[in-house]
């Protein structure tokens, strides 16, 4: 077995950042794919490449194969981050939109926890083989569920009054899918009618890329982009990708691998708390709590490294890095992890939701790439403490952004949200057309 020793900072940074860079491309490609072949088919199409990506890493005999595996995995992540929330948004009932809208984040955190736990006991090759097995049950389960009713209805766009054979076929498939999703005894007529009417209206007012720049649409687009900016510039992905290295540099008195497992457990548990609170406290309150918690945690972490770098004895504060990490992850998982994705599906106007969501997703992955690729360089320039203080100041400034710009969407219909943000009075579906995923990846 060929052992790969990756001790070059340049290679390590690329291994960490190739995934979000490829995800950026995948997110852009995913937009047209979900419209052409469907949400479910696109999701299914990522399973085999996911498996191959992990096998490339597991069987790697050099760094280029690891690069290739990370790139392929990132491309699939980008597509999945767009498709999975869309599928959820078009299939779940409006009354559980907030709770189930956090499902991709929750399951993403399960993966992070699994990776941290397995990483303590397995070498990187065995860990990669484990990663290759996870998409298998995902592939099987996706075969058992239907395509979204909204996509079937969209395929009858050339005959909005359901007069052609193809339109009738798609209408029948939409009815079957919706009945399966709601249960065999559920009355689906009103919901199906609303989907049909919304599609006809959206076809009459089909949006283009130029519509993104109109005055009415710029505000919700800017809010969504702003939330993604603060999500990624909190430093979450850098913290997750380099968790072991950070604890190693901190000289923590607690085993670094155990620390990562604790962080993963807290991250996973906090997401469940968010699912309980999201439709009770509202989106803005969770964002406020999130920003304050992350600011305090990053300030404390920066202070620890400042004292350490200036030769102070920090032995008695060996617990501080872990405590700061725990507070930081709790804060992120409660607010800035899931809420930006959820609100993107709520505040983007129906007319531009497709191209706007693709743009916002691309922006998110661009920020992820920049943060992970430059993290070690920023540490070299500002020092570890300066880097954490920089992230902390950005988290603090997000409080002002949320206070001034971000609307509260809890308990409000999509029609009401769009009307208040854009002045539009157009009829929209009561089902959010949510776009992309997960917490940090």
200-212 pLDDT, tens per residue? 766 666 556 666 7
- Give the CA distances from residue 399 to residues 66, 238, 292, 368, in Å, rounded to whole numbers and listed in that order: 39, 21, 8, 21
**Beta strand spans in 108-198 (E):** none
Q: Is 162 helix (H, G, I), strand (E, B) or coil?
A: coil
Q: What pLDDT was estimated at residue 254?
A: 66
- In which residue are the tokens 């191959």 written? 52
As a residue count, the chain comes to 441
What kind and span of H or E run contains 222?
helix 215-232
pLDDT less than 50: residues of the chain: 1-6, 158-159, 162, 425-441
Q: What pLDDT was estimated at residue 439?
A: 42
Tens of pLDDT, residues 274-328: 888 887 888 899 999 999 999 999 999 899 889 988 888 877 777 888 888 889 9
Q: What pLDDT was estimated at residue 5?
A: 47
CB atoms within 10 A of CB 241: 23
Q: What pLDDT was estimated at residue 200?
A: 72
* DSSP-assigned letter for residue 213: G
> CB-hemisphere CA count at 13 Å for 284?
14
CB atoms within 10 A of CB 385: 20
Query: What burial class does residue 183 get, using C-beta atoms within 10 Å of its C-beta: 0-12 exposed, 13-18 middle, 19+ buried?
Result: exposed
Q: Give me the residue spans of the domains in the chain.
A: 9-422
Q: Which fold has domain 9-422?
A: Growth Hormone; Chain: A; (1.20.1250)
* DSSP-assigned letter for residue 311: T
Q: What is the largest CA-CA distance in the chain?
A: 79
């Amino acid at each position: 077995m060929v052992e790969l020793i990756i001790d070059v900072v340049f290679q390590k940074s690329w291994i960490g950042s190739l995934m979000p860079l490829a995800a950026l491309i995948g997110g852009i490609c995913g937009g047209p794919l979900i419209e052409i072949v469907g949400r479910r088919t696109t999701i299914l199409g990522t399973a085999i490449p996911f498996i191959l990506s992990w096998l490339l890493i597991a069987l790697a005999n050099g760094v280029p194969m690891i690069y290739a595996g990370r790139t392929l995995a990132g491309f699939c992540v980008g597509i999945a981050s767009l498709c999975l929330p869309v599928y959820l948004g078009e299939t779940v009932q409006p009354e559980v939109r907030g709770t189930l809208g956090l499902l991709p984040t929750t399951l993403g955190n399960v993966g992070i926890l699994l990776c941290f736990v397995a990483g303590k006991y397995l070498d990187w090759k065995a860990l990669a083989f484990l990663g290759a097995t996870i998409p298998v049950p995902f592939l099987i389960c996706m075969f058992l569920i239907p395509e979204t009713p909204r996509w079937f209805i969209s395929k009858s766009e050339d005959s909005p009054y359901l007069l052609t054979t193809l339109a009738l076929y798609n209408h029948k498939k939409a009815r079957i899918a919706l009945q399966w999703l709601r249960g065999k005894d559920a009355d689906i007529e009103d919901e199906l009618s609303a989907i049909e009417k919304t599609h006809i209206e959206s076809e009459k007012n089909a949006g283009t890329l130029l519509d993104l720049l109109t005055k009415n649409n710029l505000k919700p687009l800017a809010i969504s982009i702003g939330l993604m900016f603060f999500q990624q510039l909190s430093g979450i992905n850098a913290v997750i990708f380099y968790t072991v290295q950070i604890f190693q540099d901190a000289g923590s008195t607690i085993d670094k691998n155990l620390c990562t497992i604790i962080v993963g457990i807290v991250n996973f548990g906090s997401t469940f708390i968010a699912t309980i609170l999201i439709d009770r406290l509202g989106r803005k309150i969770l964002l406020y709590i999130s920003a304050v918690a992350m600011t305090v945690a990053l300030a404390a972490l920066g202070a620890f490294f400042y004292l350490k770098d200036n030769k102070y004895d920090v032995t008695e504060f060996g617990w501080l890095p872990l405590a700061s990490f725990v507070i930081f992850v709790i804060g992120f998982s409660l607010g800035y992890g899931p809420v930006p994705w959820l609100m993107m599906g709520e505040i983007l106007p129906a007319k531009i939701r497709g191209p706007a969501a693709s743009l916002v997703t691309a922006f998110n992955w661009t920020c992820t790439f920049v943060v992970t690729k430059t993290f070690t360089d920023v540490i070299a320039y500002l020092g570890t403490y300066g880097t954490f203080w920089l992230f902390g100041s950005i988290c603090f400034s997000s409080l002002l952004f949320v206070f001034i710009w971000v609307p509260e969407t809890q308990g409000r219909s999509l029609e009401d949200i769009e009307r208040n943000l854009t002045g539009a009075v157009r009829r929209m579906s009561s089902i959010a057309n949510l776009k992309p995923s997960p917490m940090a990846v």
